[in-house]
Structure 1
Amino acid sequence: MKLVRFGAPGEEKPGLIDGNGAIRDLSSVVKDIDGSALSKSGLDKIRSVSVDDLPVVQGSVRLGSCVTGVGNFIAVGLNYADHAAESGMPVPAEPVLFNKAPSCIVGPDDTVLIPPGSEKTDWEVELAIVIGERASYVSEADALNYVAGYCVCNDVSERAYQLERGGGQWAKGKGCPTFGPLGPWMVTKDEIEDVQNLAMTLSVNGQTMQNGSTRTMVFQVPFLVSHISQFMTLMPGDVITTGTPPGVGMGQKPPRYLKPGDSIRVEIQGLGVQNQRVAAT
């Protein structure tokens, strides 16, 4: 299934994408695409409904973040060896973890806002994992049993805040408003044949900047879910964004950063496309 949230900011309704690409309204089945809907029982409830009986959403609608009520928005740093190299940092012996503020989450096509005074706002295409069951101290072998599905994340980052403020404070550069576009939809894990073999691309103003694949991740999805669950309890609806391949603005020669008026296109094979415009705050 491909689950979406549609409507004006703060007024989104739950939906799914049918076989023809139309949005079907799930409001009569679940309250929202949140932790309760993403649990095994919640997904089974959605699957039990005939898609043809759900109302078709007419016309063009805004898509919100594909999941709401996110408690933990966890990010993994330097999870692609070639990205670590372009960042001038070693490949870590175990995952680098930091938090993105859940308040930075927006829809896949919402405007990305450059913070006041920022000169180093950057882009990162990333695979995001959406948790479906409470996970605490889970094994790598069992980890996928706790995953509801996957979505696209643009891990927007302000590099000066991240690396130059207070000796390096990654959370400072990762949680600004609009720095977490998620979607367009969450794809349940049964629809993804091999999550470790998905093409990933990001372009700025039509120029391809990132062109990678999840197969080159240093730490793969089952390991990440298991590893993170050793340090915190993951809850249904939590999101883990898993790192980016090379091609970020910081790694360009000379570095290139986002500016008002830029357009960003973010795509992961099987998970959909995001399109954002950049504006000043």
Structure 2
Amino acid sequence: MSLTQGDELTSMRASAPLVHCITNYVAMNIAANVMLAAGASPAMVHAEEEVAEFASLATALTINIGTLSSSWLAAMKLAAGSASVSHKPWVLDPVAHHATAFRRRAIGELLELRPTIIRGNASEIITLSGGHSESRGVDSRDAVAAAEDAAVRVAEHRGAIVAVTGAVDFVTDGDSAVRLTGGSPLMPQITALGCSLTCLIGAFAGNRPADPFGATVAALAYFKLAGDVAGRQSPGPGSFSWHFLDALASIEQSDLSLWMEDSVAML
């Protein structure tokens, strides 16, 4: 496991990874804009007839079950299977997987296809480990700190990197772990930013497939730095949204490296 190689953002932008994003209807536009601002290339492809082929061509795959349906689940499974066979990293975002029987079945089937990285909020990760949460929908009612042990268990059981995101992020491979601070309190007021982060993790992981832990940490740190930059310029969520995209585009590797020195703590 490595934490950083010092050129994650520069390298990702140079490679402009093609990321196959099967995400929800609410997130498609903001996720695509986030990816483009960061320097990656998003593709929102979800038809059963082409997802397997496309996943084999893409640099990485991300799957978000926010607006789930039977046809989309079938496509997700085809894409994940193809990514695994093609040795492409893929990221699973288990949005509200505990809310209904359909979602619980779907997430179980997707987990069997062995995601490289799992990113969720605290409530999603706690319930993914078999624990209990008061959350009833997509928003977390649990603190990230309460989900850390659950994240370690999920990582060990699934052989995946697990990222719990919130006011303070936690990333683990089941053995090593880090916490990340920063961002802005305005971030939860912008719909689909978490979903967009999942896609961004895919871009960094696709660029560094041999180091999914380091790639995940770099993506989360970059996202938090952009949030901090945008938050200091924004009086409210409306202006924050476009300031955030500008921040993603303007941040350089030197900015990210300095930020990581202060905001990322090895545990």
Give your verdict on TM over 0.5: no
TM-score, normalising length: structure 2: 0.26
Structure of greater Rg: 1
- Select the structure with the greater relative contact order (CA < 8 A; seq sep ≥ 6): 1
* TM-score normalized by the length of structure 1: 0.25
Higher strand share: 1
